[in-house]
Amino acid sequence: MKKDIRFVNLIIVISVLIPIVVAVLMLMPKVDGSSDYSYLPLFHATLNGMTAIALFLGYYFVKQKELGIHKTCMLAAFFLSSIFLASYVFYHFNTGHVVYGGEGLIRYVYFFILITHILLATAIIPMALLSIYRGLSNQIDEHKKIAKWTLPIWIYVAITGVLVYLFMSSYYG
């Protein structure tokens, strides 16, 4: 139980620090205007798409009682999401914001998707970390309780990450 409290506290700290660090880095002036990072948004969308695939496969394999493959898929999803986050922060730290130029109804659709994506991406951090911890520590009942919420939210975040890229792709330099 003491070990759980230590990990839960660590998950809380990480879950609070990541959005703060991302926000601070996004608000800072861009660092390097001479390098071309225009390839990174597509890379980010690819990572998000691969994350969604890994999550769907993980769900499929747990339903097939293939727990080893399920674990591999879910850890792959976490790894892909972690690479995405690091690269995303790097990209925005070096390039700043790109403004969406769509007009009319599509603008409202874009901002709905973007805002829900950002809010749920923030929420998924502790949920994913706790789900992974519960699964890896063999606390299966607790893992199932949180994973039933984590999975659909994480899939939504991954898919909407791809959609945000598709909306924005014509605006990247």
DSSP string, 123-165: HHHHHHHHHHHHHHTT-HHHHHHHHHHHHHHHHHHHHHHHHHH
Task: Give residue 142's pLDDT band: very low, low, confident or very high (50, 70, 90).
Answer: very high
Task: Give me the residue spans of the domains in the chain.
Answer: 36-171
The one-letter code for the residue type at 128 is A
Does the pLDDT at position 91 exceed 90?
A: no
Does the pLDDT at position 147 exceed 80?
A: yes
Q: What is the pLDDT of residue 106?
A: 95
Does the pLDDT at position 125 exceed 90?
A: yes
Rounded to the nearest 10°, the torsion over CA 44, 47, 49, 50 is: 170
